[in-house]
Structure 1
Amino acid sequence: MIVDELFALKRLYRVDIDWCLVKEVPRPSSLPITQQNPRFPYNRQDCERRARWRGLEWSPPEWRLTDVSAATHLGLWLLRNRSELFEAYTVRVSRAYWSHGKNISDAATVEALAREVGVTDGELDAAKAAAAVIERELAGNAAWCDESGVLGVPFFVVDGEKFWGSDRVGALKRYLNEAGYGSALAATDGDVLFNNGPAVTLPVAGREASVAVNRIFCVGRNYSEHAREMGVDPTREAPFFFMKPLDALVPSGAHIPYPLGTSKYEYEMELVVVLGEAISSPVTPEEASRAIFGYAAGLDMTRRDLQLAARDKGRPWELGKAFERSAVLGPIKAAEDLDSDPVGQIVLRVNDDIKQNAKVADMIWSVQEIVSNLSQYYYLRPGDVIFTGTPAGVGPVVVGDKLQGEIADVGRVEAVIVPRIEARV
């Protein structure tokens, strides 16, 4: 997740991110598929699930991850000498380990992965020859971590500010926003122009795993009282859907600039469903349950004045719904970690004042019915997420407002509304 997000940030902002790699001794949670790992039962299931998603045969190896010297040495050499290959190599190694169970302790495995992204045998030899120099740099980085009380993980530097670990990605995003960095055109990748880079990912609560988001579907008017407050009759006709682009997605805790073109920016607190298996033909609600990987708390941020103007003219809702940073999502709670489907309280507070307070069980269409209906029209894929509608109590926010949402047994989502970047500049 850190790797994906950092490379995405490098593309989406006018900023250079310098990496400082650290040679670390793996913690028990870093040993995904070994009998010696005290977390072996969970990690085995996680790796098996990932293999199944990708259509791979699952046969767990017997090796144990002991260190990552070969992978780290080569990564630092590429960063300093072939930076154009560093991203592809880093992503390949990370996903080979987490998604495919490859032993990145083994130098031959690492070299094979490097060759897949274009590293030559001559470059591999040069990296080996520089191992002593590289080890000194890694040791220096590790010493800085020790002196600063930082766990020995890769850290990164922007404008001389040091950030480290997954908990600091959010801090880096806040820094980029507060420093007035604007989005930039993505770098080119070979003959592909405007490549937006790795997938947007969301963490899975309680696990060292993340989900790459594929598409964002949204259900309209799925709570009776909300339908009435929007001025329409809540009948149980077939649900209707709209979509948001991937750049709408931001993680919980984001600082969201007040968007362009609106004077009535509103929140909608929602239960979000995350699919973990493909659905390639229409399914029943009972069959739909098998494809659900988990749930999350989400905010469907809406330019209400634009949405209602479009609705009154019989036009699509995109201007009101489908814009950047309009889908805030908390960590995903795996369905297998829940005793039952979410039906409990869904609450949103703005500046500690309760604005929305209902039960998920009040939805007109259940989660399974929504997925079933959607399968009549789309080939659904792992990583598709579905916002399932909001209860009554929606309302506007202004700059400085702090939003805190929570769904019983699922989790929380938070966001802060900040001024537009161009206003600060």
Structure 2
Amino acid sequence: MDYKVQPATSLQGTLQLPADKSISHRAAMFAALHEGTSVITNFSEAADPHSTLDCLRRLGVEIEEQSGHTIKVEGVGRDGMKTPSTDLDCGNSGTTMRLLSGIITGSGLSARLTGDESLSNRTMRRIIEPLRRMGAHIDAREDDFAPLSISRSAALKPLHFPLPIASAQLKSCVLLAGLFGEKPTEVVETLPSRDHTERLLSLSIVKEGEKKIIRSSRQDPVPQQSYRVPNDFSAAAFWLVAGAIHPDASIRLPKVGLNPSRTGALEILKQMGTDIEITNNHNAGAEPVADIRVKSSRLRPVTITEEIVPNCIDEIPILAIAMLFADGVSKVSGAEELRHKETDRLHALAEMLSAAGAEFEEYADGLKIAGDPDFIPDGAAFKSFHDHRIAMAAAVMGLMGEEPSTVLDGDSTAISYPNFWTDLSMLTN
């Protein structure tokens, strides 16, 4: 479905953002591995975490969905999952497939993990190699792509695994397999990535200079997962940029997760001069949470390098829109990973910027954008490439035009933000 975006005269209001998807996935999986009942409130209503719930049910986990986006999970412990009688359909969710692959390997069950067309064309080689070293038998299309058929006949082998890239999904996959081992598995991280897994599981972490060594084994108890999932910072980022670039904006975003391994975009926007106020700091379970207010700002250009990218990888599409309205030239480098998301996001951004009439250059691993605080994007039909983050970035940019624009296949926003278009309408009315 296509959505028309009208130019906005002002952006004012308070938004109740969707729950954090990354935490929702993990909360459900870890609750299943806990021996006992967990009640998780504010569980994400997006499609991806519900693919995780469906897969867990096929593994014999009893999950009750209650009112108010609350789920009750009857944990079966590490040894209580059952061999599924049907495929584990991960839908469009790479998090579901990669993290469950670790759990399946560790548990010793046999299972076949499938996904939709998009997920079936995203690389799984990064998790296949370490899981095989831990003793898994894995059959994959072209030895890289789903469906993945996973089994294990020999004892689980502990693994010392230096992360080849900064990837929370790869890290989590290996650590979850390691949870089933008698001897510790170690993941060595040199570039930081999201740390929800080690936080929510209270795993052992040792720092050696620039390295962080995270260990998991059967000796690590899986904690109960009863807490409120924070609101999604990645969703907040779209409104932070919208508020910053619009000349008449004041947007309040309560109860947003501010995990330091997720908020690189917040620091980048502050560096650009965004008028941001943070109040009501508190914790929800193991995660820091706060209220955020953003107001109209005069933005400076910024350079995002390889070292920063892992902490803002999902926000780069909307940060590119902030750069478009900054006073000078901004650059992104070291972001080649964006070419392997739901779509090639660097190419998708280049298509969007070109359609808007922007001045930019596309590189193999990034972009250079000539910003202008007075830039007026052309009214155009912007391709979303069925990618939720591209669709939302195009919508935010469209608010700044003089003529209406259209986001093609804008319903893709439901993947992470089901109420995006309703919230956009609320802010502009």
- Decide: shared fold, TM above 0.5: no
The normalised TM-score by structure 2 is: 0.30
- Whichever structure has more strand as a proportion of its residues is 2
The normalised TM-score by structure 1 is: 0.30
Give the structure with higher Rg (CA): 1
